[in-house]
Chains A and B, each alone.
Chain A
Amino acid sequence: MEADTVEIVEQKSPSSLSILLRELIRDKLALISLIFLILIAGFVFGLSLFLDQAEIVTVDLFAINAPPSDQFILGTDYGGRDVFGQLIIGTRNSLAIGILVTLISGIFGIAYGVVSGYFGGHVDNALMRIIDFFMVLPFLLIIIVFVSMTSNYSIVSFSLIMAAFSWMGIARLIRSKALQEKELDYAQASKTLGTSNFNIIFKQVLPNITSLIIVTMTLNLASNIGLESGLSFLGFGFPEDTPSLGTLLSYARNPQTLEFRWWIWAPAAILILLLMLSVRNVGEALRRAADARQRRG
């Protein structure tokens, strides 16, 4: 009996982190995507520490629309501003907003949805009506009004206003899944074993919907980066002195720039494409890892 115990102590169970890693290593495409994402993020966040945003966005009339050269790796825009510097800082801003919005709206939406679905009945009814109210609000309009009213907003406040209107989707999704899960025998069994509702929700039910959470969060990350770029492209995101991928893209609204000055908008467009694809690839691999039956590793 004692020999058994010793043996078992040595035999560690694979932690969920190592399962995720193993799955990523098995899927070469996802691995490349992840490395790409980490490199881009590291590069962008690292380099932006050394770049001076104020200096980059200062107008330089002697270097307007310069093509790529030794001095400006990716040329300059119509204000003579270094596109490469804008790209670095813009990617950092876009990534930061995407991640922040996804995290804030995800965490709130998941908690909201799982509580609503688990308790059901009147609680569910009340919580869902609140969601309905938020869904009928014209959120683009509200963001645009917010942007035009507040002259000075930071990444955090912009993320918060975006998150305030993007948690409903994930909340509804999680709620519908929680409604199913709580009827399963294991959740009922937990009740008969005297486990508290809080523990059933967050320790029993939630781990069973992680795959759904991971997939939605990753897709949300991609779409939130897209949303921010879209808003900036339309001119309702950050102003030009706070570059993002969207502001760089918006230069392409000028036909001259679109046709003759590719260096201003093409790098940003390619970067958005690559970021989205990579995020999706990684999300797919994580989804498989969360479901033991679909794992490759």
Chain B
Amino acid sequence: MSFLEVKDLQVYFPIKGGIFNRTVDYIKAVDGVSFELEQGKTYGLVGESGSGKSTTGRAIIGLEEVTSGQIFFEGKDITDKKAKNKNFRKDVQMIFQDPYSSLNPRKRVLDIVAEPLRNFEKLSKQEEKKRVQELLDIVNVSTDSIYKYPHEFSGGQRQRIGVARAIALKPKLIIADEPVSALDVSVQAQVLNFLQEIQKELNLTYLFISHDLGVVKHMCDNISIMYKGRYVEQGSTKDIFENPQHIYTKRLIAAIPDIDPKNRDKQFKFRQEVAKEYRESYDTYFDGDGLAFGLQSISNTHKVALPEKG
């Protein structure tokens, strides 16, 4: 029994049109994605915008309707919205991308961080305040600011308040949907290091959704690359960065900027090579619709989307 298992997940959004507003087609935001998470590890989900990585995360926590496929959390099928019971809500939390809209502007920090506590634990006002102060202490936000409103904080502080809210119930899994992409780089490092610290303390599992390969390399044990709703490559961080097999992965890695001027020519050449390979071997990696093939195992930890060899 794995911690979280996603089997052939599909999330389609209908395109309405024509007479009577019929459904004329679907956008296949997530098109057959399967993966398993182990407790205590960090999984990266990487892809360009619109590749369906956020939708995958949102479908797991129940913010998007699952079209087909199954999701198991600790062995229980939680695909259906009704199956997402109190325990599931308590064990799985989410960190949102935008620290400016994910906190209710009309609520004080105390109310924001205490919201999950009020839903699940019956605490007295004093206990509740103490817990909130402890949580703010963990995320390094000054504890005497519990009566402030979100707009009085900087982006980094707000994101950490969001983190405090997410860890308030001591969840087992946190889905972090681009938690640092709205922050500037100095604050990014702060928040990331902090996420790693509390991971050790609370034995958290992260599903880390990001488009920033640098961040993912820093954070994750395992990485999956998504493209147009499908996985193109899945493997340990080492597999992905040192032995990328799919041309899309190679292009992503080639695109990571290298600030050392000595390597400039080398990088430039490498990029050109990858670009050439991409043009020449496009058909070997993508089917007629420009989508990735099914995943094939090439080692114990490493899977790549390649056409089946006949």
Residues of A whose CB lies within 8 Å of any CB of B are: 4-5, 7-8, 11-13, 184-186, 188-196, 204, 207-208, 210, 292-293
CB contact under 8 A between A185 and B98, given known A193-B89, A204-B104: yes
In the complex, chain B residues 136-171 whose Cβ is within 8 Å of any chain A Cβ: 143-144, 146-147, 149, 151, 162, 165
The chain B residue sitting closest to A207, CB to CB, is: B106
Whether B284 is near chain A, meaning CB under 8 Å from some CB there, is: no
Chain B residues, CB < 8 A from A204: 104, 107
Residues of B whose CB lies within 8 Å of any CB of A are: 61-63, 86, 89-90, 92-94, 96-98, 101-108, 115-116, 119-120, 129-130, 133, 143-144, 146-147, 149, 151, 162, 165
In Å, the complex CA distance between A35 and B239 comes to: 74
In Å, the complex CA distance between A84 and B93 comes to: 66
A195 and B130 form a contact (CB under 8 A): no
Chain A residues, CB < 8 A from B63: 188, 191-192
In Å, the complex CA distance between A4 and B137 comes to: 12
Within the complex, the shortest CB–CB distance from B241 to chain A, in Å, comes to: 31
CB contact under 8 A between A185 and B96, given known A192-B63, A194-B119, A208-B106: yes
A186 and B101 form a contact (CB under 8 A): yes
In Å, the complex CA distance between A222 and B108 comes to: 33
A192 and B61 form a contact (CB under 8 A): yes
A11 and B61 form a contact (CB under 8 A): no
Which of B62, B107, B149, B165 touches A191 (beta carbons < 8 Å)?
A: B62
Known: A188-B63, A189-B165. 7 other contacts (CB 8 A): A5-B133, A8-B129, A185-B101, A189-B96, A192-B63, A194-B116, A207-B107
CB contact under 8 A between A208 and B104, given known A4-B143, A4-B144, A194-B119: yes
CB contact under 8 A between A208 and B94, given known A5-B130, A193-B115, A195-B115: no
A194 and B90 form a contact (CB under 8 A): yes
In Å, the complex CA distance between A294 and B135 comes to: 31
Query: Which residue, A7, A8, A12, A192, has most C-beta atoms of chain B within 10 A?
Result: A192
Which of B62, B86, B96, B133 touches A4 (beta carbons < 8 Å)?
A: B133
A189 and B94 form a contact (CB under 8 A): yes
B115 and A208 form a contact (CB under 8 A): no
A7 and B102 form a contact (CB under 8 A): no
In Å, the complex CA distance between A186 and B151 comes to: 14
Chain B residues, CB < 8 A from A13: 108, 147
Query: Which residue, B86, B106, B116, B147, has most C-beta atoms of chain A within 10 A?
Result: B106
The chain B residue sitting closest to A199, CB to CB, is: B119
The chain A residue sitting closest to B120, CB to CB, is: A194
In Å, the complex CA distance between A77 and B151 comes to: 59
24 example contacts (A-B, Cβ-Cβ < 8 A) are as follows: A4-B133, A4-B143, A8-B143, A8-B144, A11-B147, A13-B108, A13-B147, A185-B97, A185-B98, A186-B101, A186-B102, A186-B103, A189-B96, A189-B165, A190-B104, A191-B62, A192-B61, A192-B89, A194-B89, A194-B120, A195-B115, A208-B106, A292-B105, A292-B151
In Å, the complex CA distance between A195 and B62 comes to: 13
A208 and B105 form a contact (CB under 8 A): yes
B119 and A193 form a contact (CB under 8 A): yes
In Å, the complex CA distance between A194 and B86 comes to: 7
Chain A residues, CB < 8 A from B162: 189
In Å, the complex CA distance between A8 and B146 comes to: 8
Chain A residues, CB < 8 A from B108: 13
The chain B residue sitting closest to A196, CB to CB, is: B119
Chain A residues, CB < 8 A from B146: 8
Within the complex, the shortest CB–CB distance from A126 to chain B, in Å, comes to: 16
Within the complex, the shortest CB–CB distance from A182 to chain B, in Å, comes to: 11
Which of A11, A190, A207 touches B115 (beta carbons < 8 Å)?
A: A190
CB contact under 8 A between A193 and B165, given known A13-B108, A13-B147, A292-B105: yes
Within the complex, the shortest CB–CB distance from A15 to chain B, in Å, comes to: 11
B143 and A292 form a contact (CB under 8 A): no
In Å, the complex CA distance between A188 and B54 comes to: 14
Chain A residues, CB < 8 A from B144: 4, 7-8, 11
Chain B residues, CB < 8 A from A194: 86, 89-90, 116, 119-120
The chain A residue sitting closest to B112, CB to CB, is: A186
Chain A residues, CB < 8 A from B96: 185, 188-189
Chain B residues, CB < 8 A from A196: 119
Chain B residues, CB < 8 A from A292: 105, 149, 151
In Å, the complex CA distance between A188 and B97 comes to: 12
Chain B residues, CB < 8 A from A4: 133, 143-144
Chain B residues, CB < 8 A from A293: 151
The chain A residue sitting closest to B144, CB to CB, is: A8
Chain B residues, CB < 8 A from A193: 89, 93, 115-116, 119, 165
The chain B residue sitting closest to A186, CB to CB, is: B104
Query: Which residue, A11, A12, A193, A207, has most C-beta atoms of chain B within 10 A?
Result: A193
CB contact under 8 A between A192 and B149, given known A11-B144, A185-B98: no
Chain A residues, CB < 8 A from B143: 4, 8
In Å, the complex CA distance between A203 and B170 comes to: 24
In Å, the complex CA distance between A177 and B22 comes to: 26
